């Protein structure tokens, strides 16, 4: 398939048009940013690793009945996806307290939540992706009530599935971020990526608060061995997928 113009370049991916208007090509980059792009760097091999992990997870989720934008992966750092209009929402699901939840509430890092917490943030870099209330979300017409209900239901379903999947990898799913989009039929699809860039993943058998971190917090907090951690996550995902099939 011939590749046409660059449609959009984000912090972690470049989106290209293809000869089919319903299909886009996502090119995963090694560039890494944190704290609303105030911290910038590069993680060697990240594009290939995140694309591979996301591809495997999207395929697993599809097999469990969750509709995603994933079509296939023509090369290790490229994914063909269904064209969707991304809703300007970052949907965060939390199982264990970490990151901004601890900073903003005082809940202690590592506290296991009695039930998963689903939160909506406004995807807007200029405003620093603020946490939304349901009323603000509706006031701003970022999604309809029906869409919010459908997204919440899907987010919890995805969390149930991923918790078990990551458990099989010896990894504890602390929290993660999802994005959703609408296809040409207004169907809600899981989009973007699911990777160590967008999830907090802790090595289950490791208790040391720094050594257990297998995700972007290694980059955010300068913990070192970032590439090794990402590669380790990919190895475990591939192993878990192989055992299952």
Q: Which residues are near ligand UDP by CB under 6 A?
A: 90, 92, 98-101, 129, 175-177, 198-200, 216
Q: Which two tokens stand for residue 236?
A: 């475990």
Angstrom distance (rounded) from CA 122 to CA 118: 14
Residue 2 or residue 104: which is nearer to ligand UDP going by CB?
Answer: 104
Residue 177 or residue 218: which is nearer to ligand UDP going by CB?
Answer: 177
Q: How far is the CB of 38 from ligand UDP (least distance, A)?
A: 11
Q: How far is the CB of 183 from ligand UDP (least distance, A)?
A: 22
Angstrom distance (rounded) from CA 239 to CA 135: 43
Residue 27 or residue 192: which is nearer to ligand UDP going by CB?
Answer: 192
Q: How far is the CB of 2 from ligand UDP (least distance, A)?
A: 32
CA 181, 200, 128, 79 dihedral sign is negative
Nearest position to ligand UDP, beta carbon: 99
Distance of alpha carbon 97 from its chain centroid, rounded? 17
Angstrom distance (rounded) from CA 128 to CA 88: 13
Q: How far is the CB of 147 from ligand UDP (least distance, A)?
A: 20
Residue 17 or residue 31: which is nearer to ligand UDP going by CB?
Answer: 31
Residue 240 neighbours by CB under 8 Å, 6+ apart: 165, 168, 169
């Amino acid at each position: 398939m011939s590749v046409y113009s660059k449609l959009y370049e984000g912090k972690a991916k470049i989106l290209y048009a293809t000869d089919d208007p319903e299909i886009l090509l996502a090119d995963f980059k090694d560039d890494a940013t944190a704290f609303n792009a105030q911290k910038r760097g590069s993680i060697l091999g990240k594009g290939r690793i995140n694309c591979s992990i996301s591809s495997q997870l999207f395929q697993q989720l599809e097999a469990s009945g969750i509709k995603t934008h994933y079509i296939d992966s023509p090369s290790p750092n490229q994914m063909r996806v269904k064209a969707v209009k991304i809703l300007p929402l970052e949907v965060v699901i939390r199982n264990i307290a970490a990151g901004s939840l601890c900073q903003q509430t005082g809940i202690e890092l590592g506290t296991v939540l009695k039930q998963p917490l689903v939160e909506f943030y406004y995807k807007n870099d200029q405003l620093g992706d603020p946490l939304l209330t349901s009323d603000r979300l509706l006031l701003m017409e970022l999604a309809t009530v029906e869409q919010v209900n459908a997204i919440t239901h899907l987010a919890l379903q995805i969390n149930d599935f991923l918790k078990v999947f990551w458990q099989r990898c010896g990894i504890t799913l602390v929290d993660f971020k999802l994005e959703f989009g609408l296809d040409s039929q207004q169907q809600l699809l899981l989009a973007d990526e699911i990777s160590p860039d967008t999830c907090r993943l802790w090595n289950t058998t490791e208790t040391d608060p720094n050594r257990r971190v297998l995700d972007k917090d290694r980059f955010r907090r300068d913990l070192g061995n970032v590439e090794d951690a990402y590669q380790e996550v990919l190895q475990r995902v591939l192993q878990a997928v192989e055992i299952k099939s």
